[in-house]
């Protein structure tokens, strides 16, 4: 019962956040009707004031127009490519999902193993691959690591190593590289959390008992200690997904991977050069579509994390 009320709370939160974001997107971005009989200086001034003055009427009209359109056509509208928004969002989002889902799994699995490895290695003094690499990858910005690896791959090719396609979204190497780069930071983030929760457990009495009974080291860690750690690790799932989505913008941009985040970014980017005839408009339909998709992914991860924590919490209660 408690779980269900929590899930319903999450659902309302998701709806709330999505609606607020859509409201922000629908804020009027000015109109471009200017009087061309005026002088250039006056035209510039008029354009600027048109763009930057906020009017409640325009805002209201924006909202009602969008609402009416959605209600009438059961669609968010048409994109600049004359396709329906739903089709285009799905077309690009499909490509992002191909790298996003493996990245979630990869960063979870590798992150937990790396965390356990860091914890067991801690006893030795010089452990180059241990906790020090974890903090190195957490500190050094991942865009720099991505940039330099791309450069290294290209240099390696000029020295006769096999050709690897670095830019694009079509070949297998594109996808594998994108998955690797995307899951890099979240993986070490999970590793850090795993090793620190294990660290918290390490002083507990039950470990001494298990050791004295001759339970093997591996079994103590994976069976006894991790049993207490899952809860904490699982509760970080939504943070992990949030990091991945945030990173998706950077990775897709740097790799030229034409996925969802890239299309999303292009939809609300503004031009660097414009004339008074240009509307400062964004591709509202696409942006709304992607807002729903992005927040929905986080929503799902929240739900999974809640259900799993509920399950682990109950398990713990039964054991006691």
Partner 1 sequence: MNWNRQLIWGLIFVFILLFITIFGPYLPFIDSDLTKEGAIISKKDGKISLPPFAPSSEYWLGSDRNGVDMFSRLVMGAKDMLLLVCSITLIRYVFAIPLGFFAFYSRVIETLLNFLNLAFSFVPAIFMIILFINMPYLIYSPHRVIWVILIIAFLEVGRVAEILKQQVTMISQKPYIEAAITIGTRQSKLMKRYYFPVLFPELLVNIILDLGRTMFIIGQLGIIGIFISHKIQTISADTIPVFQIQNTSNAWPLLFETLLKDIFSAPWIPIATGIAISIVILGFFTLAEGLRKHFHKGIHYL
The 271-290 contact track toward partner 1, x by CB under 8 A, reads: -xxxxxx--x-x--------
Q: To the nearest whole angstrom, how small is the minimum distance from the Cβ of residue 167 to partner 1?
A: 9
What contacts 44, CB < 8 A, 6 or more positions away? 276
Q: To the nearest whole angstrom, how small is the minimum distance from the Cβ of residue 62 to partner 1?
A: 14
Residue 124 CA to residue 110 CA, distance in Å, equals: 21
Residue 17 within binding range of partner 1, rule CB under 8 A: yes
Residue 44 CA to residue 55 CA, distance in Å, equals: 20
Measured in whole angstroms, the distance separating CA 4 from the mean position of its chain's CA atoms is 26
Measured in whole angstroms, the distance separating CA 250 from the mean position of its chain's CA atoms is 10
CB neighbours of residue 128 within 10 Å: 7
Residue 185 CA to residue 139 CA, distance in Å, equals: 9
Residue 3 CA to residue 20 CA, distance in Å, equals: 26
Instruction: Please identify which residue in 83, 129, 140, 300 interacts with partner 1, judged by CB under 8 A.
Output: 140
Residue 31 within binding range of partner 1, rule CB under 8 A: no
Residue 294 CA to residue 292 CA, distance in Å, equals: 6
Output DSSP code: residue 162. Answer: P
Instruction: Please identify which residue in 3, 7, 22, 43 interacts with partner 1, judged by CB under 8 A.
Output: 43
Instruction: Please identify which residue in 23, 27, 105, 313 interacts with partner 1, judged by CB under 8 A.
Output: 27
Residue 276 CA to residue 43 CA, distance in Å, equals: 8
Binders of partner 1 among residues 189 to 248 (CB under 8 A) are 238-239, 242, 245-246, 248
Residue 8 within binding range of partner 1, rule CB under 8 A: no
- Residues touching partner 1, count (CB under 8 A): 60
Q: To the nearest whole angstrom, how small is the minimum distance from the Cβ of residue 24 to partner 1?
A: 6
Q: Which residues bind partner 1 (CB under 8 A)?
A: 13-14, 16-18, 20-21, 24-25, 27, 29-30, 36, 40, 43-44, 47-48, 51-52, 54, 135, 139-141, 143-144, 147-148, 150-151, 238-239, 242, 245-246, 248-250, 253-254, 256, 264-265, 268-270, 272-277, 280, 282, 294-295, 298-299, 302
């Amino acid at each position: 019962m408690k779980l269900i009320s929590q899930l319903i709370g999450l659902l309302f939160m998701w709806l709330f956040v999505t609606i607020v974001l859509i409201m922000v997107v629908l804020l009027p971005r000015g109109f471009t009707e200017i009087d061309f009989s005026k002088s250039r200086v006056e035209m510039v001034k008029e354009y600027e004031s048109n763009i930057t003055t906020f009017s409640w009427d325009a805002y209201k009209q924006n909202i009602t127009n969008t609402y009416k359109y959605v209600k009438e056509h059961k669609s968010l509208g048409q994109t600049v490519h004359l396709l329906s928004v739903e089709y285009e969002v799905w077309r690009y989002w499909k490509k992002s999902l191909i790298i996003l889902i493996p990245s979630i799994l990869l960063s979870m699995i590798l992150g937990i193993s790396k965390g356990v490895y860091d914890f067991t290695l801690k006893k030795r003094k010089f452990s180059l691959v241990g906790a020090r690499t974890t903090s190195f990858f957490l500190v050094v910005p991942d865009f720099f690591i991505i940039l330099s690896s791309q450069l290294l791959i290209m240099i390696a090719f000029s020295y006769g190593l096999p050709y690897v396609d670095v830019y694009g979204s079509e070949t297998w190497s594109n996808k594998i590289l994108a998955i690797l780069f995307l899951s890099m930071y979240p993986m070490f983030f999970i590793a850090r959390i795993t090793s620190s929760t294990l660290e918290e457990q390490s002083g507990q009495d039950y470990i001494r008992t298990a050791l004295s009974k001759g339970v093997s080291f591996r079994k103590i860690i994976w069976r006894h200690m991790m049993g207490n750690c899952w809860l904490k690790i699982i509760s970080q799932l939504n943070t992990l997904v949030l990091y991945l989505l945030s990173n998706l913008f950077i990775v897709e941009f740097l790799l030229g991977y034409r996925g969802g985040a890239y299309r999303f970014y292009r939809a609300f980017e503004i031009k660097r050069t414009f004339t008074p005839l240009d509307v400062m408009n964004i591709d509202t339909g696409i942006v709304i579509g992607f807002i729903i998709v992005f927040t929905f992914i986080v929503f799902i991860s929240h739900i999974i994390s809640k259900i799993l924590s509920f399950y682990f919490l109950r398990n713990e209660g039964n054991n006691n």
